[in-house]
Homo-oligomer: A and B are copies of this chain.
Amino acid sequence: MENCKITANAIKKIYIKGQIHDIEVGMRQVTLTDTVTTKGKKEFNEPVRLYDTGGVWSDENVKVDVKKGIPKIKEQWLAKRKADKGQILTQMALAKAGVITEEMEYVAIRENMGHINDDKSYITPEFVRQEVAAGRAVIPSNPNHPEAEPMIIGSRFLVKINTNIGNSALGSDINKEVEKAIYSCLLGGDTLMDLSTGKDIHQTRENIIRNCPVPMGTVPVYQALEKVNGIAENLTWEIYRDTLIEQCEQGVDYFTIHAGLLWKLVPFAKQRLTGIVSRGGSIMAKWMETNKKENFLYTHFEDICDILARYDVAVSLGDGLRPGSLHDANDEAQFGELETLGELTQIAWNKNVQVLIEGPGHIPMHKIKENMDKQIAICHGAPFYTLGPLTIDIAPGYDHITSAIGAALIGWYGTAMLCYVTPKEHLALPDKEDVRNGIIAYKIAAHAADIAKGHPSAMERDNALSKARFEFRWNDQFNLALDPQRAREYFGESSHGSDYCTMCGPNFCAMRISRQISDK
């Protein structure tokens, strides 16, 4: 089994330098072995460059001490920019002013997946600037999280995935959450939300941010609620505002804020099969129903944006009324809230705050397109960021799959970022293995969408892997896989020769026979 051992040194971290700025963009490069034809002829295979979200965690040459955190990649850019302007300007403000930032060039190089000045390097720094200026794309960029590598969320870029981690009152500890965060980045999570609602919220977040090479989001009302001992009706604007500032200072890159859930919409939710299933949404609904007042996140939305603009924290407008079942999909409650999100988008943009729009949830396949179309029409092209959607309700334990179907579809239709769902959804907090299964299911959905959308270099990896598969270059196939370890494990469980596997055995291997027929 010579050709089945793990050849980790075939996967290397490489860095591509910027042409405008003094930046270096990390990527993974997979070196391939030669093709050997059935006649013994050797042919070279080009290495394949892969988008990499692992930061220094995927660079074997960088040693990291988790207690100190990872290197601060953006520190110098920010220092220089602050010295120039005397204050932090948001990426959107700079983009509107015609400035191509380090972040913009960085994401342009990243999105081209290693292509430089060829027909597949179609994303230019100027194109990035235009998309950010128009609000059609977001580069989450809190300067207090200088460890995060720039990435972009927008429908004209690669589809991104977000992973959720975080404890609850009933489970997990800080080290486990940090471990899950790093694991998420290594496996391909583009952003990470810490949804902790248990103890040590501040410290858990601190430890994650300092080790996190991807932008991080939170739902600040969770921590605010903990500050009033879990009693929703006791929340105040002041407590919420102070929580926002605390998290801005700490380095959170985007906040989910349920400012679109208006009081008048709550009665619509009461008519539903499954009411309100957004945690933030249910908290705000209870606050409004008890205090008989409009949602303070809505009434204070301009104040919120003023704070966010100071830190270039993006707002992710939460869908507090997202459907929690197929039955409630595309109803008056859901689309009513979307109208408000459209209004809020323009308020935020006027203050140069970058905006994401959150979307559902549970939607049968034939109703998914309507969601995307309405979101584009109502929210002025702001990037859509959906949870799944789940396409059926009857598979608890497999909701990473029920939702990967919906995620692939809505990504194809134009959603910019897909929030993952793990197999434990509806049942329990995910452990590390659940995080893995959720991430891979969503990498699959995002990649399927990238290909269907026609991203010019999306299929290169598929073609390289398929060629390796046809030529029985098992290690190349595994190194190009989304989860090389899992593929190796399944393959290696059984014993067999090197030019077939146990599925077909030697006489029935179609690829083996086909190669014999075709090879020159």
Chain A interfacial positions (CB closer than 8 Å to B):
168-171, 197-198, 222, 225, 230, 232, 266, 269-270, 273-279, 281-283, 285-286, 289, 324-327, 362, 364-366, 391-398, 400-402, 404-405, 408-409, 412, 423-429, 440-441, 443-445, 447-449, 451-454, 459, 461-463, 465-467, 469-470, 477-478, 480-483, 486-487, 489-491, 493-496, 501-511, 513-518
Closest to A470 in B: B274
Distance in angstroms between the alpha carbons of A509 and B283 in the assembled complex: 9
In the bound assembly, the distance between CA atoms of A496 and B427 in angstroms comes to 11
Task: Indicate if the CB atoms of B401 and A514 lie closer than 8 Å.
Answer: no
Q: How far is it, in angstroms, between the C-alpha of A200 and the C-alpha of B270 when the chains are bound?
A: 62
CA distance A49 to B278 in the complex (A): 31
CB pair A514 B285 closer than 8 Å: yes
Smallest CB-CB A-B distances: 9 pairs: A275-B514, A325-B466, A169-B505, A230-B507, A397-B486, A365-B452, A393-B462, A282-B510, A168-B505
Q: A457: shortest Cβ distance to chain B, in Å?
A: 13
Do A412 and B366 have beta carbons less than 8 Å apart? yes
What are 18 residue pairs bridging A and B, where the CB atoms are less than 8 Å apart in the complex? A169-B506, A170-B495, A273-B470, A279-B509, A279-B510, A281-B510, A324-B511, A325-B470, A326-B466, A392-B444, A393-B463, A393-B469, A394-B481, A396-B478, A397-B489, A397-B490, A401-B440, A428-B502
Known: A441-B401, A496-B170. Contact between A365 and B449, CB under 8 A? yes
Q: Are A286 and B516 in contact (CB under 8 A)?
A: yes
Q: What residue in chain B is nearest A408 (Cβ atoms)?
A: B405
- Closest residue of B by beta carbon distance from A325: B466
With beta carbons under 8 angstroms apart, the residue of B428, B444, B496 that contacts A395 is: B444
A428 to B279, CA, bound (A): 42
- Chain B residues lying within 8 Å of A441, measured Cβ to Cβ, are 398, 401
Most chain B beta carbons < 10 A, residue from A364, A392, A401, A510: A392
Name which residue of chain B comes closest to A405, CB basis: B408
When the two chains form their complex, are residues A395 and B483 in contact, meaning their CB atoms are under 8 A apart?
Answer: yes
A310 to B173, CA, bound (A): 68
* B327 and A503 contacting across the interface, CB-CB below 8 Å: no
